[in-house]
Amino acid sequence: SQQGEEDPQALSIQEGENATMNCSYKTSINNLQWYRQNSGRGLVHLILIRSNEREKHSGRLRVTLDTSKKSSSLLITASRAADTASYFCATVPPTSGTYKYIFGTGTRLKVLA
Amino acid sequence: DTAVSQTPKYLVTQMGNDKSIKCEQNLGHDTMYWYKQDSKKFLKIMFSYNNKELIINETVPNRFSPKSPDKAHLNLHINSLELGDSAVYFCASSQLTSGGAFRFGPGTRLTVL
């Protein structure tokens, strides 16, 4: 079964508001990454958080990781219309023996101008 | 300067035909991947090559055959195309040893009629 599952599946907010997306996974991880996919495009890496880290920031992005709950959240502050995209988490189980990144089903974010 | 490129971007073909998709990366990464994204946006890993050696081979029909002539190229050949093969196929690359981020290509939208 899928390693990462994002929640909510879809999110619609007004420009300027914050957007929070969650990712839950089932097994231990080496690291967890968040990606953005604009419609009709490839995925773009946003941020990587290692299993021994709890929080990471990059510009308007803030990622948290709770390995005890096997969950991560991505917060986008002061959202813009250009943030409209699908957001995916990707996890690498340490026991896989290879870097087999497994992607969740994604959260479709719509930011209304 | 394109990091990961794929050709063609669109592929429309009849059932039963054989087709190939090509991928090239100029990042010097040692590992390349093929992912399939279905209509529900679910990304599923198909194959991965590390330094031209196949390291991930998921449960994929043997009509799909990857080939990596060198570290910078990974091609995907599909025989006897079926309707269910219609999807977007993404090539990606990463540096395996660092467990770092993936770089994705723009995708190839395959439509089987």
The radius of gyration of chain B's CA atoms, rounded to the nearest angstrom, is 13
The residue ranking higher by pLDDT, A29 or B19, is B19
* A-to-B residue pairs, Cβ atoms closer than 8 angstroms: 56
Mean pLDDT score, B81-108: 90
pLDDT greater than 70 at residue B83: yes
A42–B90 CB contact, under 8 Å: yes
Chain A: closest CA distance from residue B112 (Å): 18
In tens, the pLDDT along B44-80 reads 989 999 888 888 888 789 999 999 999 999 999 999 9
Spatial neighbors of A96 by CB under 8 A, at least 6 apart, are none
State whether residue B107 sits within 8 Å of chain A by CB. yes
pLDDT greater than 80 at residue B2: no
State whether residue B101 sits within 8 Å of chain A by CB. yes
pLDDT greater than 60 at residue B38: yes
Residue of B nearest to A103 (CA): B43
B72 half-sphere exposure, CB direction, 13 A CA radius: 8
Cβ-based contacts of A45 with chain B (< 8 Å): 101-103
Rounded Cα–Cα distance for residues B59 and B77 (Å): 16
Cβ-based contacts of A41 with chain B (< 8 Å): 106-107
State whether residue B30 sits within 8 Å of chain A by CB. no
A99–B31 CB contact, under 8 Å: yes
* Token output for B50: 């590390």
Mean pLDDT score, A42-51: 93
Nearest to A45 among B35, B48, B101 (CB): B101
pLDDT greater than 60 at residue A101: yes
| Whole-number pLDDT of residue A45 | 94
Chain A: closest CA distance from residue B15 (Å): 24
A45–B48 CB contact, under 8 Å: no
| Whole-number pLDDT of residue A3 | 55
Whether the Cβ atoms of residue B54 and residue B31 lie closer than 8 Å to each other: no
Whether the Cβ atoms of residue A85 and residue A38 lie closer than 8 Å to each other: yes
Nearest to B42 among A35, A40, A105 (CB): A105
Cβ-based contacts of B40 with chain A (< 8 Å): 105
Cβ-based contacts of B50 with chain A (< 8 Å): 98
pLDDT band at A93 (very low <50, low <70, confident <90, very high): confident
